[in-house]
Chains A and B, each alone.
Chain A
């Protein structure tokens, strides 16, 4: 697995753990009301699990297993994949932080969402040419 995939998949795993933790705190609090402000974790919970975990895992696995090129660089332009990685993670963190505030911080949320969009653009630009038949020359 290339280094970028290790970073993407391990970061995705961390979001899984933290996203489940947020979910568990809200669920506990729903059953046994403890602290009303725990409900503020709802948007970060969704952000972490949909984009931080699911999307990022898919990006990491795709970078690893999509057909490679027969000539180097065999994984394609990895700079684009790294750009997607940094953009996605800053976007997810900003969006989660913005919505966790008692009064959601809409400017910051917008920037976070724009970074997520940018990440998807980087990743599509990266992966586009690797969606191809397997190369016959090893």
Chain B
């Protein structure tokens, strides 16, 4: 299993644990409604994107047909850049959504905008790095 896949899979486990932990926190009677509204999308995306999506991306990188004998997994640098953008984007979103609800006047909106750009790049990065590996044999 390539090193990058190990990073993806382990990061996906961390997102799963964080997501489930957030789920518990949001279920506590003391959780303020505003915070709940703000963190519900973070909770869902930690699980569906940080865990499921990231696990899929990591396993595709490992198991899909080879791109070429010298570059079996496509562009490795792009693979790492996607990893950083995806995890950085998710992390910034979690911080940004919480700050935006607690201190709407802060500059937290920019955190969400930067997160949006990172996640957008991660998504199209996956498309670009996987496309040629999906072919008939």
Contact = CB atoms under 8 A, between A and B. Distances in A.
B127 A14 contact: yes
Interface stretch (B2-10, B21-29, B67-75, B117-125): B117-125
A104 interface: no
B60 to A, nearest CB: 8
A20 B54 CA distance: 13
Q: Is the interface of B mostly helix, strand, loop or mixed?
A: helix
A21 B111 CA distance: 17
Given A1-B137, A20-B119, A31 B124 contact: no
Given A1-B137, A14-B127, A28-B113, A21 B120 contact: yes
A1 B65 contact: yes
Q: Is the interface of A mostly helix, strand, loop or mixed?
A: helix
Sort chain B's interface into a size bin.
20 to 34
Contacts of B127: 13-14, 16-17
A52 to B, nearest CB: 13
A49 B58 CA distance: 17
B112 A27 contact: yes
A13 B109 CA distance: 29
Q: Which of A2, A30, A57 gathers the greatest number of chain B CB atoms within 10 Å?
A: A30
Interface stretch (A3-11, A66-74, A94-102): A3-11
Q: Which of A21, A23, A31, A32 gathers the greatest number of chain B CB atoms within 10 Å?
A: A31
A16 B119 contact: no
A30 B137 CA distance: 44
Contact of B119 (A14, A27, A30, A32): A27
Interface in B97-136: 100, 108-113, 115-117, 119-120, 122-124, 126-127, 130-131, 134-136
Contacts of A31: 96, 100, 108-113, 115-116
Nearest to B97: A30
A134 interface: no
A9 B7 CA distance: 23
B93 interface: yes
A79 interface: no
Interface of B: 48, 52, 56, 65, 93, 96, 100, 108-113, 115-117, 119-120, 122-124, 126-127, 130-131, 134-137
18 contacts: A6-B135, A9-B134, A10-B131, A13-B127, A16-B126, A17-B123, A20-B123, A21-B120, A23-B120, A24-B123, A27-B113, A27-B116, A28-B116, A28-B117, A30-B109, A31-B108, A31-B110, A31-B112
